[in-house]
Chains A and B, each alone.
Chain A
Amino acid sequence: MAEYWGIKVEDIFNTMQERFRPEGAKDVDAVFGYDIKDEGKWKLTVKNNEMKIDKTSDLAGCIATMEADGETFVGVNTGKVDATNAFMSGKVKVEGDMGAFGKTGKLFRKYVIAQKEMTVKDYLADMFATVVSRFKAKEAEGLEASFAFDLGGQEGGKWTVFIKDKVCTVTTTIEGKPTVTLEFNDAKDYVDFILGKIDAQSILAAGKASAKGDINMMASKWPILFEKYKDPMGGNIPEQELIVLKKTISVNQKFSTGPIMGKFLKGLKDKKIYANKCPQCGRLQLPPREVCAECRVRAADFVEVGPKGEVRYMDLVYYAMPDPLTGVARETPYGGINILFDGCKGNETLPHFIRKDQIEKIQMGWNEKKGTRVRPVWEENRTGDIWDIKYFEIDE
């Protein structure tokens, strides 16, 4: 089985049980499928706040199945791959009920990549193994020198870094007479010093380390000759924590309607739908507005239209958009319809909503085809608001 970032596809599935969040599984009663290319198929059953994961050959009966390759699957689960991008670009696909699959996002805690602890020995091995790759040859023009490291303690050791003819080599011994020799009583202090956890002054002052020979070569030349050692465990930690402030705004607002819009809203209170008529071009405006924008004249004559009409266009909305008044995502799918009321013509339509269980039955009309006939369903307590009409329903 292939590994991605040191993780196998099976690791993700095998840890699902321990990462399971029962609080995220409330109201979930479904079987989800995972089809991971070249890796296999898994079936996730969620019921009664419990889960079961099985490797399988048959994904029949799953409400939704996720398809991806192993790298993308591991990447998305570990945060190495941007899930939105993978999904949008088709690297992750969901067959079946997309809305249901969305619930799997809350079922599990994130898979955390196990960070292997690096010992002092691991660090020393890595530090000297990367010396040659960190060497900047162009800074070593005409330089011949050797830097010896004598690092004590159980995990310590000896190293010499030679520079000659702009070439850098490393040995694990100290021979002859190095240009400069750095001695640490405890190799751990050297590692901490290189990682920036302690400073050289305090170690030297405490007598825990000493330098012999051309000290200036070590203090001044070494940092120019070699790129700084990067901690493989801490590569992603920014120097400064970047704080993001979170705010929620909630404000009361009021708006004067004026006499024209006011007449329309008052009409709704009385279960009547009023349009106004342009005295010049004769078009109706719904809802009524103060002037006809096309003719630039005041329009103060009202005409009662509807309340029944025909659907000319419906937006079938799947994406959960937030209700602007509450911030809460609307329940999807819903149907936003444009109604041509009896008495209106052309583009004199009014947008509103259709009864949820009737979305599938709606036909959109045009010249040759009548759209579905609808009628308003009124609120019992009306206040002069567009929501005095709860929604429209089919007029059979």
Chain B
Amino acid sequence: MAHKKNRNVGIIGIGQTKHSSHREDVNQPELIHEAVSLALKDAKLTMKDIDCVVHGNMELFEMVHSPDLWHVLGTGAYGKECIRITTGGTVGATISCASDNLVASGMYDIVMAIGFEKLQEGHTTGGITNMACPLWFRKIQAGALTGSSAYDVEREFGVERADKASLTYRIIMDKHAGLNPNAHRAFGLEFSQIDDLIRTSPKLVGNLKLIEMCSQSDGACCVIFACEKKAKEIAKTPVWIRDHITVHKEENFNIFGYDRKFPVLKTHKFAAENLFKRNGITDPINYFDVFEMYDPASWWAIDWIRDFFGLKGDEHLKLIEDKEIMIGGKMPINPSGGVIGSNPIGATALIRVAEAAMQVRGNAGPHQIPTPVNHALASGFGGTMWTVMTMLEKELNW
């Protein structure tokens, strides 16, 4: 059984800024306001119509305590219910889940979720490191980079095939980002550059290369949720939230034993299996029309496609190699260009939901999938392998 809901909830408004590393022209509330006003305009609403604001970003990445206080000027939450949520990389997806729950419960009719980050104003690596256990791990850890995914894929499929798949994925994301006017990074990469980039792109950790890692962006995203009655009144094409799932693991990275007798529980796989099972979806790769995946680096992405869709052997690599994950392919992944294209972290996972919903509405813009999108999937990732997944539907018919 899917999550029990008192009433259905639809997305009725979406706004996001252009994501960039050069937003010295605005302060934090001003940046947020850009996304908020675009979402209100999209929904043809004003702040008067909003019952509750859910604010989310990374904890202390900008070193601002209670940022929801300062940001009230940009969020419009003055005199309203405002809830701040912070759950790490997943926070954008979590505020989407929370907004869905707040409306579904009957507590509020219209809730606005705002995800935000201005990474140029803080210190990302410092922020991530300070999330580690202060009693010991903070001294060992440094940032979110690891070469372990590259190592895993290379061990299983050989260095040459793995490297090519990773770069193919990366270039597909760049091509998608090139179509998305809000994307931060679109280099204009060509598939003919694969061998060259494998050779020349500087290594960060192990075989994780600079070109394969996501950017650090400034940006904000705002999504407005409404109960079924209001959604149908307000929006021409509300996008319905069918279900969502959140899976956490413990705080330690107990995943490096490399012993087949002790398999590692992968939260993406665990979350996907449970979410699809309780919704009666047996063939997710054919069921969904688009997947907006939280892909912090191309190595993780190519590995995770198998986990999310329950694919066997090298089916996930074939999808990439055959470019079936491109717009127009069998299973388009990240028409937006993904996290590799834009990563304002607190907004990033909400952008996945927003972009998936835009695809369902059919008005994503130049990166719209040409075929109808009825079923969309979005994922969030953070912490020590935490997962949030959200299912979106065009019709209220499940």
Q: Does B151 contact A (CB under 8 A)?
A: yes
Are A265 and B147 closer than 8 Å at their CB atoms?
Answer: no
* CB proximity to B under 8 Å, residues A347-387: 347-349, 351-353, 364-367, 385-387
A-B contact count (CB 8 A): 147
Are B259 and A346 closer than 8 Å at their CB atoms?
Answer: yes
Binding site for B on A (CB under 8 A): 85, 87-90, 93-95, 98, 242, 244, 247, 249, 253, 255, 257, 261, 264-265, 285, 287, 289, 293-294, 312-313, 315-319, 321-325, 327, 330, 336, 338, 340, 345-349, 351-353, 364-367, 385-387
Question: At the interface, is chain B mostly helix, strand, loop or mixed?
Answer: loop
Q: For the complex formed, measure the closest distance between the CB of A232 and the CB atoms of chain B, giving whole angstroms.
A: 23
- CB contacts (< 8 Å) of A325 on chain B: these are 138-139
Q: For the complex formed, measure the closest distance between the CB of A272 and the CB atoms of chain B, giving whole angstroms.
A: 15
Binding site for A on B (CB under 8 A): 24-25, 63, 123, 125-126, 129-130, 132, 134-143, 145-148, 151, 185, 187-189, 193, 196-197, 200-206, 210-211, 249-250, 252-262, 264
Given contacts A316-B206, A387-B139, 9 further A-B contacts (CB under 8 A): A87-B210, A317-B205, A318-B202, A325-B139, A346-B257, A347-B254, A349-B257, A353-B140, A386-B137
A and B contact pairs by CB, cutoff 8 A, 12 listed: A88-B185, A88-B201, A90-B211, A244-B24, A265-B136, A312-B259, A315-B148, A324-B139, A327-B126, A345-B257, A346-B257, A346-B261
Are B24 and A345 closer than 8 Å at their CB atoms?
Answer: no
Are A293 and B204 closer than 8 Å at their CB atoms?
Answer: no
Are A366 and B135 closer than 8 Å at their CB atoms?
Answer: no
Known: A317-B145, A321-B125, A352-B140. A255 touches B261 (CB 8 A): no
Are B125 and A347 closer than 8 Å at their CB atoms?
Answer: no
**Complex formed: what's the CA distance from A128 to B201 in Å?**
50
Q: For the complex formed, measure the closest distance between the CB of B132 and the CB atoms of chain A, giving whole angstroms.
A: 8
**Complex formed: what's the CA distance from A87 to B204 in Å?**
14
Q: Give which listed residue, B197, B200, B252, contacts A94 with CB less than 8 A.
A: B200
Are B142 and A323 closer than 8 Å at their CB atoms?
Answer: yes
**Complex formed: what's the CA distance from A242 to B24 in Å?**
7
Q: For the complex formed, measure the closest distance between the CB of B338 and the CB atoms of chain A, giving whole angstroms.
A: 15
Q: Give which listed residue, B140, B211, B256, contacts A347 with CB less than 8 A.
A: B256
Known: A253-B134, A287-B136, A324-B130. A90 touches B200 (CB 8 A): yes
Between A287, A318, A340, the greatest number of chain B beta carbons within 10 A of the residue's beta carbon is seen for: A318
Known: A255-B134, A261-B136, A318-B202. A364 touches B258 (CB 8 A): yes
- CB contacts (< 8 Å) of A88 on chain B: these are 185, 187, 201, 210-211
Q: Give which listed residue, B143, B210, B262, contacts A345 with CB less than 8 A.
A: B262
Are A90 and B197 closer than 8 Å at their CB atoms?
Answer: yes
Known: A90-B193, A316-B206. A367 touches B259 (CB 8 A): yes
- CB contacts (< 8 Å) of A367 on chain B: these are 258-261
B254's nearest neighbour on chain A, judged by CB, is A347
Are A345 and B259 closer than 8 Å at their CB atoms?
Answer: yes
A102's nearest neighbour on chain B, judged by CB, is B202
Are A98 and B136 closer than 8 Å at their CB atoms?
Answer: no
Are B189 and A313 closer than 8 Å at their CB atoms?
Answer: no
**Complex formed: what's the CA distance from A287 to B123 in Å?**
28
Are B126 and A322 closer than 8 Å at their CB atoms?
Answer: yes
Are A330 and B202 closer than 8 Å at their CB atoms?
Answer: no
Between A313, A348, A353, the greatest number of chain B beta carbons within 10 A of the residue's beta carbon is seen for: A313
Q: For the complex formed, measure the closest distance between the CB of B273 and the CB atoms of chain A, giving whole angstroms.
A: 18
**Complex formed: what's the CA distance from A322 to B143 in Å?**
8
Q: For the complex formed, measure the closest distance between the CB of B217 and the CB atoms of chain A, giving whole angstroms.
A: 13
Q: For the complex formed, measure the closest distance between the CB of B169 and the CB atoms of chain A, giving whole angstroms.
A: 16
Between B126, B146, B253, B259, the greatest number of chain A beta carbons within 10 A of the residue's beta carbon is seen for: B259
Q: Give which listed residue, A90, A257, A285, A321, contacts B145 with CB less than 8 A.
A: A321
**Complex formed: what's the CA distance from A366 to B256 in Å?**
10
**Complex formed: what's the CA distance from A330 to B129 in Å?**
14
- CB contacts (< 8 Å) of A338 on chain B: these are 256-257
- CB contacts (< 8 Å) of A318 on chain B: these are 202-205
Are A348 and B202 closer than 8 Å at their CB atoms?
Answer: no
- CB contacts (< 8 Å) of A352 on chain B: these are 140
**Complex formed: what's the CA distance from A346 to B264 in Å?**
9
- CB contacts (< 8 Å) of A365 on chain B: these are 258
Are B254 and A348 closer than 8 Å at their CB atoms?
Answer: yes
**Complex formed: what's the CA distance from A226 to B24 in Å?**
32
